[in-house]
Structure 1
Amino acid sequence: MYLVKEFKILLNNSYFCHALGVFIVTLTLYFCSGYTHRLPTTVINTLWLTIGCYLLVAAILPKITAYLLVERKYYILPVVVSIFTLTMIIVFMTRIEYSRSTLLHGAILCFVWFYVTSLLRQESQRLILFAIPNFDISSLNQKGRVRVIELKAPYDIANIKGGLVVDLHRNLSPEAEKFIADCSLNNIAVFHAESIREMLEGKVQTKHLMENAIGSLQPNPLYMTFKRIWESLIIITTFPTTLPIMAITAILIKLENPGPAMFIQERVGQGGKLFRIYKFRSMTTKEAGAEDKFATAEQARVTKVGKFIRKFRIDELPQFFNVLKGDMALIGPRPEQDSFVKQFEQQIPFYGYRHMVKPGITGWAQVVQGYADDTESTSEKLAHDLYYIKNLSFWLDINIVFKTIRTMLTGFGAK
């Protein structure tokens, strides 16, 4: 038992864990190759490719799972599959000699190692915080990614082994105020309780949105330019796959139900400007002058083809052209109809702030919450949208990409 405990402690060190992982994966592939003497070039190249893939997975996983709302083990398979698939595409394009079976075994070994060690290291990856008890500590301890330990007066800085969390908007004793200042001076991170709750729930508390929070909703213009480039590149490189799917979908829609294959509607975009959104028609044609309704109120009009393409988000594929035109982004808050926007701006505080960025085909609210079909659920959706805008970054976008893949496979939130 002592050796097991010591080994788990060593695994908590990322450098040791990944050095051991590279060694075990490489050694296993070597013995499984069937060559006892000199390895052929194909196997040697594949071993180097596998090591490179392993290191990429090790670098990317912590980045996209830095958000307390997510658990790392659920991202291991999609990240490993994505990295090894991309590697195979590069190998195919550059015509590097490689062993397909060795690379496949390498992907399996990498996945197993990352998954097993993530379970063994789960406790060490939890955020440990010590709290001055001027708020409901149990509300944070109910979440699995954080452990909050209550401090007892008199406060001693030697007891702090992680960060300090406190509700900075509530009254504090002079002793507590001095202790917070001492922690800051000693480079101990001090968190506001609501900030931790925000990270755990993946949403901004819109009822308490303050002036400084509104200022943080301004997106980084440099990243927004980079975001437009990499999203456009993804769309263009996937056209050999998506264009045939779009063509088949359009034919099936026309065969099942008379009317246009495309559904074009005005939506509200960045800065409140109207634009025309493209979708595949998933319902029977709408009567002229009919009142705008949520999709949940229109279920009777959904066709058989429409039900299928909605479940797997195929109806959204034409919006790739909206992204290339610059009306939308691949990732962002979903665009809403103008009539609903005017209604929600009257009913929901700060609703207009979701238009600070381009609307997206997929977004944080879609993969975390799902579909919204009334004022209450739209208010909740806004809280997730503002969290996305506030924390907008490349790694959050990549996190959403992987969540979207899971959503497409499970049909989560489809209406």
Structure 2
Amino acid sequence: MPLNLDTVIDRHATGSKKWSQYPADVLPMWVADMDFPVAPVIIEALQKRLEHPMLGYCVAQDSLRQTLVEHLWSAYGWRVEPQELIFLPGVMPGVNMALNALVRPGKPVIVQTPNYSPLLLCAANWSLPRVDLPFSADANGEYHTDIAALKKALPGAGAFVMSNPHNPLGKVFSREELQQIGDACLANDTLIISDEIHADILFDGRKHTPIASLSPELARRTITLMSASKAYNIAGLKTAFAIVQDPELRHRFNSGRLDMVDSVNAMGLEATQVAYAQGGEWLAQVQAYLQANRNYLADALKTRFPGIQMHLPQSTYLAWLDCSGLGLVNPQKFFLEKAKVALSAGPEFGEDCKQYVRLNFGCPRPLLEEGLARMERSLQGL
């Protein structure tokens, strides 16, 4: 059945972080949380689960493990065994578990920039030095990993932390680029920690490639972190999973819980099962809608915002906007105060990103249109 994703649903007074962060007259287009209703099949499954009156501590059932094994094979051609899955309350707890358990004190952590703020900050959580690896851009505005710089930075490094697909750039890594990254890490025996939370949202027929799926050697040196939370809009259920294929690495990784990373939400496990087993049709429609929103945004920027540049996102529902042509000191503050539109501030993603903002287009088209109209009016007279 076709979805009606144009309907705007009021999220005020629901405890929504996205809609509670700013006053009611501000249109929030910042945090990576879509303004679409959850797939009906997931809602139905949660309602059915609540017919049972017990909500105690839960563990993943064999059926969920098998569903994920089948999903990883059908989506990516990646053969994973059920025992190689570790369930977590979020991707970032997994990243921090890995750094704490697997990286020796004093060893640098390499992170590409710009990048998702918690990935930039996680090394400091464990007093580990961070090495920034800026992306390079070609004449077409495509972002690429500087392999030569990576090889120079890797000797002695404890981990390479990546976002694949990339947030905020919306970049989908090619198999060739991932292989180059993987080969460089293997040559230096460097652990790879790969945040692949946006793996299910790609545009223009692209396919996601988990870096660990490229070879058994890479699988043995990689912690892969995934979740249904972004694609299926269930982030509030706090459920994710790690794929760790080497038994020793898996044991050491799990030891990093230290009673800080607890068991997983009972409803989150239920929702994850149903999302990957039955949510494909819903996701296909949402993905098509997101791609249309992306294209609408790109056309609007070209025709109505000559001072803003955007490289077309290949993945995610997040647009990385270069506002340097507007001549503003602080674009995020300007649009918040003058347009009443809340965007993510560029410096959250890297020190050299003061002229950037990140815009979430994962919303009904009327909200996207309203946000752009407000931004356009705020720029009149500049």
Question: Normalised by the shorter chain, which TM-score bucket?
Answer: under 0.3
Q: Provide TM-score, normalisation by structure 1.
A: 0.22
Larger radius of gyration: 1
Of structures 1 and 2, the one with the larger relative CO (CA 8 A, separation 6+) is 2
- Structure number with the higher strand fraction is 2
